[in-house]
Structure 1
Amino acid sequence: MTATPPDTKPPVITPSRVIAGLCLLAPFVALLWVNSYSRLTPRFIGIPFFYWYQMAWVPVAAALTYAAYLLVRREERVRKGGAGK
């Protein structure tokens, strides 16, 4: 028989965690749906759409990951009682 520590709480699904999850899911969906960007036009500075679309997602995915991090970190601070920085 295993005993769980008394301070362990089950995970709580909050709106900020759902939004963070969507921020992390968006790049996967956008890049795994290849038929949506499998074409050559429109070109951007001579680069076919297929390539620049994927490269455009690099900074977007980084920004969305950072936003998800901030949302989860803010929620953890509020949960622990320290709402300040």
Structure 2
Amino acid sequence: MSHADGSGYSPNGETVPEGSRLTRDTAIRGPARPAPYIGAGILLAAAILFPLMPQLYAFDAPRLGGMPFFYWYQLLWVPISAILTGSAYWLVTREDRRRRAEARAGGAPQEGAAAAGAGMEGERP
């Protein structure tokens, strides 16, 4: 990645070939697939909504080690929520890595990519 100032150097100091200059319209990610984001949203919604529905756990029985159901049900959601949150994070980061790899491999161009070279080398107005 090169700076938009046309210096020809990446942020870590390496030289960048002339043809790979980045502009404001350069795609850094490929097109998104909605399924991983929907899946992550469902996992996070479950982790949030189920513990907030007391009609599911407002019971005394069954007891576990002398502890009423409504206590151990809520405590059970602590590791479940951690697992659901970790799974949602994994889905989103895997999709982001896929999108970045697709853009690096020269995937589908974004709208406005044709006008990327016609501008003022990425300078902002």
What TM-score, normalized to structure 2? 0.56
Tell me what 2:100 maps to. 80
Tell me what 1:15 maps to. 35
State the percentage of identical aligned residues.
40
Instruction: For 1:70, give the aligned amino acid.
Output: W
Moved over 2 A (4+): 5-9
**Which structure has the larger Rg?**
2
Write the mapping of 1:1-85 to structure 2, written as runs, cut at 5 A: 5-7=24-26, 12=32, 14-81=34-101
Count residues with an aligned counterpart.
77
Instruction: For 2:44, give the aligned amino acid.
Output: L
Structure 1 residues not aligned, in runs of 5+ = none
Structure with more of its chain in helix, by fraction: 1
Instruction: For 2:78, give the aligned amino acid.
Output: V
What TM-score, normalized to structure 1? 0.80
Superposition RMSD on alpha carbons, in Å? 2.0
SS in structure 2 of the partner of residue 39 of structure 1: coil
